[in-house]
Structure 1
């Protein structure tokens, strides 16, 4: 293994980054490149085209805030490809800002093109642009992004942040403020994508704001928020999508769907969908198969589609669907020839401006386990044996739960059941599919919440814990960063809306 030190900010000659990469490409084995500490605060301005890496290499930068490589709009920044589809290089880029990249026609990835095994850590990919291809990063190999920021990249009609057709893992990172005039704002995935402890926020794409998935997408402990689109705001899924312990919030899909549009397979667990807006369905538009478990859908705002519109196969177990507004439809609408099965769930406290002879809560034909709490069942079938506001003596949603979404513990905001709520111990233990409530570990799913010595599951996503007299203290798991990101996403969403 050879080691090289970059000693100047020139783009050619002895001591330059380009020369160090050329020398490393000519040697076998994994080589390393370091930078003289005296270069801290500097920028290498590329004048001789992209930096091509064709051998195993580690580049140790001086920190993304202190050192950058800038293509100045004249070329791509990094091209990581040895041209051999049967050989995969191992490349690490650490502590760099990668900016100013611009790829030509049919040249994917203005900031980084990767066809190998690339790990990007502690870095920033920002300010790269492309007219008809990917602005930030294009990956057809294996890409791991950790502790990094992909922001403020631009594409005219493709993905502005990241496009992945290989394997992509994003951990402890932020994908934000990327913009595509005709395409996708945040991430386009047709391969395998895992997002963990990360934020996809404040991106704009005319078709899709946050993530477009036609492959396999897993979202864990993450926030998809404040993304804006004329089409779908948060996530568009035509593949396989699993969302766990995550928040989909404040996205605006102006003409299509606010939160998630699913035509593939969706599994949503221990998550919250809130504050999304659309002329169509604000929370979820399902045309495929969707399973919603231990999750909250609240405070979404729709003109025609409600919080959920189902045109496929939908299962909701221990869900709380409350506080949603629709101008012209119910909170959940199950279309003709579609299947919606509801178990141990609260669908109540939703509002509509024009009732169209249906309730604000449910419309269509449903299959129920008979252990739900539905505010008003007018205009629907299947809930005749469930609890309703009328059957409970004309109560209101304030008699059931805290109408404010609150941090009651866990990774996401929830609606806590109030003392004496008719939802406490009113579910069916045989229909649960999880050992905890929405908040996760430490919050058991079957508890004797009314202290009658019989442990019965509560209706809804929240389970009252035995002898609990106060809301748990604010959990550090939500994090100040997440709150700041959501707020900034909301601000950008309003700004982008004014642009339209």
Structure 2
């Protein structure tokens, strides 16, 4: 060693051969004397010096090396950090690990044995993380700082952390192929955890960050063990992961070539561009399944086979598909455009197969010796070019179709079956629609040979057999039943446009019960039914309004049965029938939505088919019991109010005498002449102001009978007495007898408002005016101090306790919803004295050319009538146009052209006006409540739980809003007003509002209704409630906020785009589908 006497620096320089260890050097430190000749020098020196022991550690510091670990669960097993760390001249101190930087989503603590523990922070984080550490050796030397990277996932989950498709043991990332290898072999692959039996494969949220991403596969992924692959979704439930095949191969090959059945689940995947070509193993363009496969919330598109079955999926095992979508898949030179199943079973639930194609059989599905079930699913626009079954081809097995739609499919060959081709199967079709399918040959809708066919509570409509028989049904089944169903509008170039019976060898039985066959057309014989081989039994049914070019407009051939109506008897032999009505018009209304899941032909009120069915009809004799008509309404009632309860003929059971009572709120009376009638319900005023008169018109009708009119009518009427006074009642010109009504302006009611008529058939299927109630508005304060004038209140007008008596007795009354209108002050009465006069003009001149908010110009807020930002000549013209008008005089105020836009700017409007007469069902508060709760939960996630209390007592009122208004919110009483029928578009009430199953995502937060979905063409209730709840929270309309824009288009869904949540929490929440039970 050496000492620098100037600086006092001690330099230790161990010899090269010095052994590693701990050495001590004793150093004396003192002060230098300036006078060494002083006789006391030595004594003073000793007094001023000190001694210090310096410890010198001789050795090489240990080396800490970076690590990667795969962790599972919130508290994984201890991690041995020191395994790859080294100390060349000593030993590592196991107790000395020091965590330098903690991970972001957990805590690492050191143990005394060289291991550390990871404890998750409870956020549910799944993905990659890191921390840093250092340690000492036995001599106390510190190592460098090393980084430990790790992946963390729930227990039992193999986490994919790379979007590559490789087997790279050095990249410290897990690809989907490496994850599959670990799951298949119960082994470790790269840095994946070891597979263990039924594994779950999930994906690092950081790979997506809420956006879609793609893994390009270079080869097939084999599955030979139980596994669930769960990909992430957006907040709206749309799959984010696309597996795109880049070679001539399928995505998944699911088989272990063993008798044991594997359990496999694929969730939230988009599978694209799979393809199989060649001469062997070519079935299944995207998936080959020989096990038990559950496919959930996935999309299979643009997959293909050449010479193989199943453009998307080939199945020999058990296949269950839900909430999924297949499109543009094809099988060239073979069958099953989307799915082929040879043996096994296939169940589709809430799934659509659209625009798939084959050259062989089954544009959507091909099944041989398999059991197929379609539940609430759709086969649409699928096609075959040379085979049969545009939508589906089934040979043997069982076919069950429930609540589904077979729509727009096409068989371009002579083989037939535009919608369905069925051979030797047991077929049950219930609550379904087979519509607008086409065959270039025979059987536009469906064809069945041999086997058993049952069609129950379904509609087969507008299908066409271009060059053949059986536009709706070609029936060659051994046994067949048509029950509670409608066959309408089908065409065939030859025989049997509605049903063609082919008289197969082996025929056992057939029957038609309680069904309607109408409006079909045959190019030759049998417009409704062709039954030349045997007498088809027809019971309690209607065959009418059909046409045929040659003969047998309704039926050609033989019929048997009882209590049915055949309008045209030409070409039909009815010798075996009893109690038929022949040659009479049944009075069918056009095919339409008269309630229920499927379209029907309603009966007009004078139909001879009403109460004309078998008086001994017993619905319980059927299996299942036939207690409801096709729509789901009671099957046996007194439909014509003759006190006789008896079944009707046909699929539709007419209701008893029905009445309606409605009101409208106007500024001016509706001109009804001397008849008191109007063709349609007048439109309501857009709003109410304190000057314009308020006229409430009450309209009544017998809505389903042209023969039985009103004898008397009576309602109770309610209004808001806080702001309104009822002045008088004027009765309609037809109600000139027994006029009653008690006005109570304290409670805001008129009770017993009624009258009688001596006119015959008055109000029979026509709206007639019962009464007009004239009201005036109480004076409303202007309140324009420092801000624009705001609406004062939302006023409800409602009728209740309606009693309509017809010549056949009391009717069942449907009351219209309350009308809700906004009350606003009179704009031009600036001094608020009830008259627009010179005082108001002087006040106006005082702020002319000033802007709202200017000093000493508070009244400019009120005088800027068009809200242009300045009191100018346009406002002057409006003031002059209204000059001299007095409250209650009946003179209508002239409002700015943009009045509805700028003065009532928080109304949510339908972007399109429905010009068609609406038959949309009225929504109920019971239907609204579950969706309201879902909307509250979504907003609580957006903002935080602080809004929960604010929104806890939100009230819903179903009312009639003017024009295209959908809803409005009143923060004063925490109420949302919903238009009864969504401005004529009808409400879409989502039974699963968190899943967005009826929609396709277009941009962030914006969704469009899927083709043929229940949401298509309707107003989404969830979006409207989210919008109005935001108003209650204080948010205004904004063009920059998707959800808070002022207009909503039918078929759109808008969700909050910005959520104050950690991205990974949102992402992990995307895995939680209804079918995912969590991770054990």
Q: Provide the TM-score with structure 2 as the length reference.
A: 0.42
1:313-462 superposed matches below 5 A: 313-352=509-548, 354-355=549-550, 358-369=551-562, 371-382=563-574, 387-388=580-581, 390=583, 392=584, 396=585, 400-402=587-589, 404-431=590-617, 432=619, 433=622, 434-440=626-632, 443-462=633-652
The answer on 1:155 being equivalent to 2:365 is: no
2:269 aligned with 1:103, yes or no?
Answer: no
1:93 to 266, 274, 278: 266
Residues 1:311 and 2:502 aligned together: yes
**Partner residue in 1 for 2:400:** 218
Going from structure 1 to structure 2, the CA distance change for 1:249 and 1:483 (only over 3 Å counts) comes to farther
Query: Mapping of 1:229-308 within 5 angstroms?
Result: 229-230=411-412, 231-238=416-423, 239-263=425-449, 264-278=451-465, 279-280=467-468, 281-288=470-477, 289-305=479-495, 306-308=497-499
Q: Which protein, 1 or 2, shows the higher relative CO under an 8 Å CA cutoff with sep ≥ 6?
A: 1
Q: CA deviation at 1:38?
A: 2.8
The one of 63, 71, 94 aligned to 2:245: 71
Alignment of 1:4-153 (within 5 A): 4-13=158-167, 14-27=173-186, 28-40=196-208, 41-47=212-218, 49-63=219-233, 65-84=239-258, 86-104=259-277, 105-107=279-281, 108-133=283-308, 134-153=310-329
Please list every run of at least 4 consecutive aligned residues from structure 1 whose deviation after the TM superposition is greater than 6 angstroms. 476-483
**1:338 match: secondary structure:** strand
SS of equivalent to 1:83: coil
- Residue 384 of structure 2 corresponds to which residue in structure 1? 205
Contact 1:228 1:252 in 2 (8 A): yes
CA distance in 2, matches of 1:483, 1:420: 40
Secondary structure of the residue aligned to 1:258 is: coil
Q: For the residues of structure 2 that align with 1:266 and 1:483, how far apart are their CA atoms?
A: 31
Deviation of residue 338 (structure 1)?
3.0
Q: Which moved more, 1:22-31 or 1:121-130?
A: 22-31
Equivalent position SS for 1:38: helix
Q: Is the 8 A contact 1:99 1:127 kept in 2?
A: yes
Contact 2:611/2:648, CA 8 A, preserved across alignment: yes
Contact in 2 for aligned 1:45/1:71 (Cα 8 Å): yes
* More off after superposition, 326-335 vs 141-150: 326-335
Distance 1:29 1:222 in 2: 37
Question: How many Å separate the matches in 2 of 1:91 and 1:479?
Answer: 38
Q: Which moved more, 1:34-43 or 1:462-471?
A: 462-471
Distance in 2 between residues matched to 1:300 and 1:479, nearest whole Å: 30
- Unaligned runs of 5+ residues in structure 2 are 1-154, 168-172, 187-195, 504-508, 660-702, 705-813, 815-918, 928-985, 989-997, 999-1008, 1015-1080
Distance 1:174 1:5 in 2: 31
Q: Retained in 2: the 8 A contact 1:89–1:117?
A: yes
The more displaced of 323-332 and 293-302 is 323-332
- In 2, the alpha carbon distance for the partners of 1:74 and 1:194 equals 31
Q: 1:490 matched to which residue of 2? A: none
Rounded Cα–Cα distance in structure 2 between residues aligned with 1:413 and 1:332: 18
Query: Matched residue of 2:603: which SS?
Result: coil
Task: Quote the offset at 1:335 in angstroms.
Answer: 4.2
Q: Cα gap change, 1:437/1:479 in structure 2, threshold over 3 Å: closer, same or farther?
A: farther
TM-score w.r.t. the length of structure 1 is 0.89
Cα distance in structure 2, aligned partners of 1:2 and 1:255: 55
Deviation at 1:429, TM superposition (A): 4.0
Post-superposition CA distance 1:362-393 (Å, at most 9, x none): 01111121x11111111211267555563x4x
Residue 267 of structure 1 aligns to a residue in which SS? strand
- Please, what is the CA RMSD of the aligned residues? 2.3
Contact 1:330 1:362 in 2 (8 A): yes
> Is the partner of 2:293 in helix, strand or coil?
strand
Q: Deviation string for 1:301-322 (max 9, x for gaps)?
A: 2111321110234311111000
| Length, aligned pairs only | 472
Q: Is the 8 A contact 2:458 2:630 kept in 1?
A: yes
Shift of 1:232: 1.4
CA distance in 2, matches of 1:140, 1:474: 44
Q: Does the residue aligned with 1:29 lie in a helix, a strand or coil?
A: coil
Secondary structure of the residue that 1:130 maps to in structure 2?
A: strand
The answer as to whether partners of 1:282 and 1:300 remain within 8 angstroms in 2 is yes
Gaps of 5+ in 1: 488-500
Q: Deviations over 1:60-105 (max 9, x none)?
A: 1123542111112421111111110x21111111110011111233
For residues 1010 and 510 of structure 2, the distance between their equivalents in structure 1, rounded to whole angstroms, comes to 31
How much does 1:132 deviate?
1.3
Return 477-486 or 327-336, whichever deviates more. 477-486
Q: Distance in 2 between matches of 1:349 and 1:484?
A: 32
